Chains A and B, each alone.
Chain A
Amino acid sequence: MTSQEKLQRFEEEISPHLKSAYNLARWLTRSHEDAEDIVQEAFLRAFSAFESFRGEDAKPWLLTIVRNTSMTWLKRNRNARTTIAFEEALEDPIERSPDPEEGLLISCDRQQVRQALEQLPLDFREAVILREMEGLSYKEIAATIGVPIGTVMSRLSRGRDWLRRILSTPQPVKPEEGAGLR
């Protein structure tokens, strides 16, 4: 493959996924500037590694590189920022709504959903973004993140539970109903 052929193939197969690359980096870093830097770095890496691309699905292949570039970036900048060391500890967000099935999802307000998603710890956030926004299969997510499928399922399920709790509010109890109980 000459350089010209390589460039042409790259632009046909990889470049169309720029949008997904940026979306993922943006949600992982929560910053527009960082996402642009990461995507640029990831695209150059992807181009130099393009010989190893064997015509499998291009999107997960590119997103794996974007994801790894983002993680390296986040680690490098972690000391400079006050990131929580144990993001895996997913605490119950709302005491008053213990069961995510109880309250109906009432908040479909985009701003609130955005905030909830930004607050979701990184491990869970990446699984949710890859599934819901990028439409990757469990298997593709597992390969992208580099964890077993079981872990993907558990992260998705816990991440979604957490979001449902954040975005749910329990059915308000009317005072007279409460009084009727006594």
Chain B
Amino acid sequence: MNCDDSRIYLPAYLDEELGVGESLRVQKHLSECEDCRRAQDQQLSLRSALRDPGLYAYPTGDFSKRIEAAVRRAAQEEARSQGSSWFEWFRIGSFRWVPAMAALVIVTTIGVFLAMHSMRSTHEQLIASAVLAGHIRSLQPGHLIDVPSSDRHTVKPWFQGKLDFSPPVPDLSELGWNLVGGRLDYVDGRPVAALVYQRRMHNINVFLWPNHASAENAIREEDAQGYQILHWNGMETTYWVVSDLNNAELVEFARALRGH
């Protein structure tokens, strides 16, 4: 294990979330590397600062009693209403359970589907806000590009060795979209390529990383705080495009990019 690996594994190692094999490898590296031991000390000192019992917020004794009383009241009310509802069930007869169970199964199934759908869309919203944050950050002086070049043959090789994939860098200048450079960014827990194109004075950030899900070429739109966010999953690459350019032109840009 080298230092880069060790730094990646270190937090999970200290949180006791690594398997035995990996833990041993981290331990071995730590015993040999002073720099990583210093990083470990750092992380441990933050941990002990955060675990200071003085920071823990304890409820008051009065409050604990209040909660206990509230729960007991709820139990009493439930007992009263349950008494009558049990009575109802027995009076109606047990065959009524069948449609009730069927309804329950249907409702649960719908619920699970909705939950899965909303989990997915929450994930997309998280990416959308990360991408937007990346875009806004990039507009601050000196943050836009790491490799300033309008030449795709300069930009593309620059990513080599910095990413575990080779991002496509199409030349769209004939269509009026000028490449101004690229940089590394961090989205959805991984390093990604960010390409910057320009039309007039509008910057367009294109965030891309490998797509492991199925390709669905439909361009989806998210609108956030006056910025336009477009998103689609290509055959091999996931694209997120952000700009303050108007929607129609940005869609045109996205189509040009997708068609390349």
Which residues of chain A have a CB within 8 Å of any CB of chain B? Answer: 2-4, 6-7, 10-11, 15, 18-19, 22-23, 26-27, 32, 35-36, 39-40, 43-44, 47-48, 85-86, 88-89, 91, 100-101, 104-105, 107-108, 110, 113-114, 117, 128, 131-133, 137-138, 146-148, 150-151, 153-154, 156-157, 160, 163-164, 167
Contact = CB atoms under 8 A, between A and B. Distances in A.
B64 interface: yes
A72 B51 CA distance: 27
A130 B189 CA distance: 19
Contacts of B70: 40, 43-44
B39 interface: yes
A47 B74 CA distance: 8
Given A150-B189, A153-B12, A128 B50 contact: yes
Contacts of B75: 3-4, 6-7, 10, 47
Given A35-B57, A89-B136, A147 B126 contact: yes
B175 interface: no
A105 B42 contact: yes
B17 A138 contact: yes
B88 interface: no
Interface string B27-46: 00000000100110011011
A163 B46 contact: yes
B79 A110 contact: no
Contacts of A10: 71, 75
Q: Is the interface of B mostly helix, strand, loop or mixed?
A: helix
Nearest to B52: A110
B254 to A, nearest CB: 23
A48 B51 CA distance: 33
Contacts, number: 136
A104 B40 CA distance: 11
Contact of A101 (B42, B48, B57, B126): B42
11 contacts: A2-B79, A10-B75, A22-B59, A23-B56, A91-B137, A100-B42, A108-B45, A110-B52, A133-B50, A146-B119, A146-B122
Contact of B225 (A3, A85, A132, A133): A85
B57 A27 contact: yes
Interface string B81-96: 0100000000000000
Interface in B172-189: 188-189
B68 interface: yes
Interface in B99-130: 119, 122-123, 126, 129-130
Contact of A43 (B12, B71, B78, B119): B71
Given A10-B71, A35-B57, A86 B129 contact: yes
Contacts of B11: 153, 156-157, 160
Given A18-B59, A133-B56, A153-B189, A40 B47 contact: no
A15 B56 contact: no
Contacts of A85: 225
A4 to B, nearest CB: 7
Interface of B: 11-12, 15, 17, 35, 38-39, 42-43, 45-52, 54-59, 63-64, 66-68, 70-72, 74-76, 78-79, 82, 119, 122-123, 126, 129-130, 132-133, 136-137, 188-189, 225
Contact of A39 (B48, B59, B119, B188): B59
B55 A22 contact: no
B67 A39 contact: yes
Nearest to B62: A36
B67 A3 contact: no
Contacts of B43: 160, 164
Nearest to B67: A43
Contacts of B130: 88
Contacts of A131: 15
Contacts of B189: 150-151, 153-154
B63 A36 contact: yes
B57 A44 contact: no
B55 A117 contact: yes
